[in-house]
Amino acid sequence: MKIVILDTETTGTEAEDRICQLSYLVADENGQVTQIHDALCTPPLPVKYDAMAVHHITPEMLEGTPPCTGTNAYARLQELNVPENILVIHNAQFDLEMLAKEGFENRMQVLDTYRILRKVEPGKTGLQYKRYELGLYRLEEPFTRQHKIQIRAHDALGDVVVLKFLLDHLRQKQDLQEMAAACAEPILLEIMPFGRHMGERIEEVAINSRNDLQYMLDTFDLDEDLRYSFGYWMEVTKDRARIEVGFGKYKGKTPAEIAPIDPGYIRWLDEKATNISDELKSAIRNAAESLTR
């Protein structure tokens, strides 16, 4: 088994954008680096200025370079593309989509350090943030001297070196194969990673601010882990949850609280309200039926 620790730089982040730098380290099962591949390549469209401002790859640096598929790095990556190997990427979906545009169909096991971090170290999960938080930058100079390479901040090779140290950090907490297996399925998150409930337990949000989770499920473009986690906690807390009306003059109150105050409003909701969750419909129906007892 080999571990391929990979990053790309691209012309931008939109659907039409392509790779302009492909970098990866190849390590053995113990994390010892045996190969380093780094290739600038000519994409089929210009590098956008927004992207250039991040990775500092200019058109002059790409002059005379082959397309991504014509680099030795790409050819070796294809050789490494077998199921027994593990491909390590931070926020893997983006890079895999970019590689797919170059005809690369991944067959390796994928270990996404971004997804693992959200599970085991909830909080800020940006690669450069972790570089400083964990002091990984202190390890760079000895590594580059040992392997006789030069890195630039925010380019693909520089990020790959940081990612190798981040993987080493995560391996102190969890087995490599276990992390790869976890990334093959939706990961159950316990802590809200963004928004006004950031840092709170998702279970508590599902109980006390249920409408917020339901709104995100209905309207946000959530990744697979968030959608799975929100749905899971909504389901397991449904018998403990506070089901509130999320609109109108009684926003924030439960149907049971509204019924004795304004029975006519409850009857109106029962007969007329649309585009509301099944849970709220059930709570309104129960409150309406309590008025006839």
Record the tokens describing residue 56, joined without a space.
């500092």
pTM for this prediction: 0.89
Same-domain pairing of 256 and 235: no
Number of independent structural domains in the chain: 3
Same-domain pairing of 23 and 163: yes
183, 212, 233 — which closes off a domain?
Answer: 183
Same-domain pairing of 217 and 288: no
Express as a percent the part of the chain with pLDDT over 70: 100
pLDDT digit string, tens, across residues 219-253: 999 999 999 999 999 999 988 888 888 888 888 88
Same-domain pairing of 227 and 278: no
pLDDT digit string, tens, across residues 195-222: 999 999 999 999 999 989 988 999 999 9
pLDDT at residue 51 tops 70: yes
132, 161, 183 — which closes off a domain?
Answer: 183
Same-domain pairing of 42 and 67: yes
Q: What is the DSSP string of 210-272?
A: HHHHHHHHHHS---HHHHHHHHHHHHHTTTT------SSTTTT--HHHHTTT-HHHHHHHHHH
For residue 171, the model assigns a pLDDT of 97
Span 261-282, average pLDDT: 84
Same-domain pairing of 195 and 166: no
CATH number for the domain spanning 151: value is 3.30.420.10
Same-domain pairing of 32 and 149: yes
State the residue range of the domain holding 292: 247-293
For residue 293, the model assigns a pLDDT of 66
202, 218, 242 — which closes off a domain?
Answer: 242
